[in-house]
Amino acid sequence: MPADRLIVPYGCAGWRDGWIEEGPDGLVRCTVPHVVIDRSANAPLRLQDGQYAIPLPSRGSPDEELRQIEDDALARADPWSKPQAAFLRRYFAHVREQVEADAVALTERLGTLRDLFDHRAFVFAAPRPLPRGFLAAEGRMIRCDCVFWTGGGALAVEIEGRTAPRPGREDELARLAAAGVAVTRCPPDAEIASLGLPPLFERFADGVSIPSGPFKARGIEAYAAPRISSSST
């Protein structure tokens, strides 16, 4: 795998060696849901960037398409973790609230294109959450409650519940931090705005002139065929 490419598998309960491997043809394959990130682009992974493991997405209004993405994220979260599901619901609610709060400014930004684009589609500029995402740290693949790629690096959200963390978890979080992963702890029921996340999470529409939808053929194909060349995105 080229150094400027990163594969982030997600939605899996545990890690198995062989899920990511390089074949004799030089192509890297990943046999579980994943995204491929171009580190050199210095750009965040947004909801609009495709690579969804949704077999037959249905095109619709921005609200309908965002609901599909939210449902898919919830389906890939830990089914036994109510705090993880609650975090994802709060996150998507936060994204909707941010766009509605800026509705007037976003509509004005569209200018003469406002009849072609719905300002609500700016929700897809928000960072994409990867529940149960795996990141490499000190030679190990460590599962995170939720992973974001901010453009400058990976951010792992540790979602705290009402039970004690499993043994060894603090060591895993320390390994992630040592590998350059930003780790943010999310207390039970904490609002997204209170977590101290980077400005991107509040001002994700900044610099986006025209909204883009999430379901692109290129992104879907990138998942459907788990063959990743050095030029894939």
Ordered DSSP codes for 173-212: HHHHHHTT-EEEEE-TT--GGGS---GGGTSTTTT--S--
Confidence band of 156 (pLDDT split at 50, 70, 90) = very high
How much is the mean pLDDT over the chain? 87
* 146: in domain: yes
How much is the average pLDDT of 37-49? 94
Range(s) of the domain holding residue 163: 42-218
* 15: in domain: no
* 164: in domain: yes
pLDDT digit string, tens, across residues 14-41 = 999 889 887 777 778 898 999 999 999 9
* 23: in domain: no
pLDDT digit string, tens, across residues 80-118 = 899 999 999 999 999 999 999 999 999 999 888 887 888
- End-to-end alpha carbon distance in the chain: 13
* 11: in domain: no
Query: At 98, which helix (H) or strand (E)?
Result: helix 82-101
Query: At 222, which helix (H) or strand (E)?
Result: helix 217-224
**Higher-pLDDT residue of 163, 91:** 91
Give the chain's domain count: 1
pTM: 0.88
* 172: in domain: yes
* 121: in domain: yes
* 147: in domain: yes
